[in-house]
A = this chain, B = another copy of it.
Amino acid sequence: MNVIVDLCVVPMGVGVSVSRYVAACQRVLQEAGLDHTLHAYGTNIEGEWDAVFAAVKTCHETIHRMGAPRIATTLKIGTRVDRHQTMADKIQSVAEKLDVQG
Count copies of this chain in the complex: 4
Q: Is A20 an interface residue (CB 8 A)?
A: yes
Q: When chains A and B are docked, how far (Å) is the Cα of A1 from the Cα of B75? A: 18
Q: Is A47 an interface residue (CB 8 A)?
A: no
**Interchain CB contact (< 8 A) of A94 among B19, B56, B74:** B19
29 contacts between A and B (CB under 8 A): A1-B60, A8-B76, A10-B12, A10-B72, A12-B12, A12-B15, A12-B16, A13-B16, A13-B82, A19-B93, A22-B94, A22-B97, A23-B94, A23-B98, A23-B102, A26-B98, A27-B102, A39-B39, A40-B44, A41-B42, A41-B87, A49-B57, A53-B57, A69-B80, A72-B72, A72-B76, A73-B77, A75-B75, A75-B76
